[in-house]
Amino acid sequence: MDRLERLTLIGSATLMAAFFGALVYAATQLRISVPTCVTDVAPFTQGKVIDKGNHHYEVHMVAKMWAFDPPEVRLPPGAEVDLYLSSLDVTHGLYIEHTNVNLMAVPGSVNAARFHLDTEGEYSAICHEYCGAGHHFMMGKFIVTSAAAAPAAVEAGAALGQQLFEQKGCPACHSIDGSTAVGPTMKGIFGRTVELEDGSTKVANEQYLEKAIRAPGEEVVKGFPPAMPEPALTGAEVHALVEYLETLK
Ligand code: CUA
């Protein structure tokens, strides 16, 4: 065998061994695994975080127009996370920054990834698949903090409401500067008299706004399409949103 031939063979064999070594190192030392589609888990409709003990957490994440549920996940440093992702409507994506998590949320199926969050900080979870008018607002958050067990700081209603307004993608259809978009503007909404599709009128007070947020299909404002999806909000969140809307003079 020619000397050059032998060198080439040894070189490529060494390279393959290095690749294999890197693979083993990534799997065992860096604990990186490849995202997979799981077939034995039924698609779920509600997001939740389950503490399995021993720093192991299971996160059920639901993607929907245009938010992730749960919108915020708090975990302690060193958490090992089994993430299961499903979608309620169209195809979404989920990329969590500074991790190797990059999944598709496909309606009717569940995709999974295991990852670790060792360093304290905030990690944005971003929808990276175009999913409609609110796509660019579709964002969640993983917060790694040693104070994870402590209850979330109590925020002033209106400030929390503003955060939710942006987080839930409301600005995609509702302006706050008086301009008309897919939906009515929220500027000066509180106390305004609105005309509904059936010709009746209502004053936009607290009860009206709460209902309009909870069940957007029931009382549609005249001249606008019944396009608003029912948001997944807790009672306190709806209340905070209304408090925010009251500030939009
Ligand atoms: Cu969801 Cu883009």
**How far away, in angstroms, is 174 Cα from ligand 1 center?**
18
CA distance 34 to 241: 39
Residue 97 Cα to ligand 1 middle (Å): 16
With CA atoms as reference, report the closest residue to 168 among 81, 86, 234, 97. Answer: 234
Check: pTM over 0.95? Answer yes or no: no
- pLDDT, residue 192, reads 85
| pLDDT (mean) for 206-217 | 84
Q: Which ranges of the chain would DSSP assign to H, the alpha helix?
A: 3-28, 157-167, 206-214, 235-246
pLDDT at 149: 53
CB of 127 sitting under 6 A from ligand 1? yes
Q: Which atom of ligand 1 is nearest to the CA of 135?
A: 2
Of all atoms in ligand 1, which is nearest to the CA of residue 130?
A: 2
Q: What confidence score (pLDDT) does residue 156 get?
A: 57
Distance (angstroms) between ligand 1 centre and the Cα of 237 equals 22
Tokens standing for residue 91: 């195809």
- C-alpha span between 248 and 74 (Å, rounded): 31
pLDDT in tens, 138-152: 899 999 988 755 434
Position 175 scores a pLDDT of 86
Instruction: Tell me the pLDDT tens digit for each residue of 53-98.
Output: 888 898 999 999 888 988 889 999 988 999 999 999 999 999 999 8
CA nearest ligand 1 atom 1, residue: 92
Burial class (CB in 10 A: 0-12, 13-18, 19+), 15: exposed
- State in Å: Cα 244 to ligand 1 middle: 25
Residue 69 near ligand 1, beta carbon < 6 Å: no
How many angstroms does the Cα of residue 137 sit away from the middle of ligand 1? Answer: 8
Is residue 125's pLDDT more than 90?
A: yes
Burial of 18 (0-12, 13-18, 19+ CB in 10 A): exposed
Atom of ligand 1 nearest to the CA of 129: 2
The answer to whether 87 and 63 are in contact (CB under 8 A) is: yes
CA distance 84 to 114: 9
Question: According to the model, what pLDDT value does residue 154 have?
Answer: 37
pLDDT at position 153:
37
Beta strand 72-75 with 102-105 is unpaired
**Residues 220-245: tens digit of each pLDDT:** 888 888 888 887 777 767 777 888 88
Strands 67-69 and 72-75: unpaired
Cβ(98)–Cβ(200) below 8 Å:
no
More confident position, 1 or 112: 112
Return d(Cα 128, Cα 140) in angstroms, integer: 12
Distance from C-alpha of 97 to C-alpha of 115, rounded to nearest angstrom: 12
State the average pLDDT for the chain: 84
Is the Cβ atom of 129 under 6 angstroms away from ligand 1?
A: yes
Instruction: Give me the domains of the chain, ranges plus CATH numbers.
Output: 40-144 (2.60.40.420), 156-246 (1.10.760.10)
pLDDT at 152: 40
Indicate the pLDDT class of residue 14, thresholds 50, 70 and 90.
Answer: very high
Q: How far is the CA of 89 from the centre of ligand 1 (A)?
A: 10
